[in-house]
């Protein structure tokens, strides 16, 4: 895998960290996690904020809507009841 294999990386991260909300992961940690993935063969110095953000968003999409329930404040999820 390389930095541009966002979908493959997202799937690998979702498998390795199933209980992690991708939107709460710092880019410094994301960088470490990606470079430690089995099959990752790119130069760690080739990453940048744009690539990390693309990976993070692909990972979030891979998780589906499960994290929306957790990351959206309660009052926004239930505003119709107020």
Backbone angles phi, psi at 37, to 5 degrees: -65, 140
Per-residue confidence in pLDDT tens, the chain, 82 aa: 999 999 999 999 999 999 899 999 999 999 999 999 999 999 999 999 999 999 999 999 998 756 555 555 555 555 454 5
Tell me the C-alpha distance between 20 and 42, whole Å: 24
CATH 3.30.479.10 for domain 6-81: no
Q: In this structure, are residues 9 and 1 in contact, taking their beta carbons and an 8 Å threshold?
A: yes
Specify the pLDDT at position 52.
98
Q: Which tokens hold the place of 74? A: 């309660």
Distance CA 47, CA 50 (A): 8
Name the percent of the chain in helix, strand, coil, to the closest 5: 65, 0, 35
């Amino acid at each position: 895998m390389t930095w541009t294999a966002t979908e493959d990386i997202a799937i690998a991260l979702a498998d390795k960290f199933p209980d992690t909300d991708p939107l709460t992961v710092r880019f410094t940690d994301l960088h470490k996690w990606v470079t430690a993935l089995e099959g990752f063969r790119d130069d760690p110095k080739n990453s940048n904020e744009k690539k990390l953000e693309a990976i993070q968003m692909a990972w979030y999409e891979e998780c589906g809507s499960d994290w929306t329930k957790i990351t959206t404040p309660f009052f926004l999820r239930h505003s119709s009841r107020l």
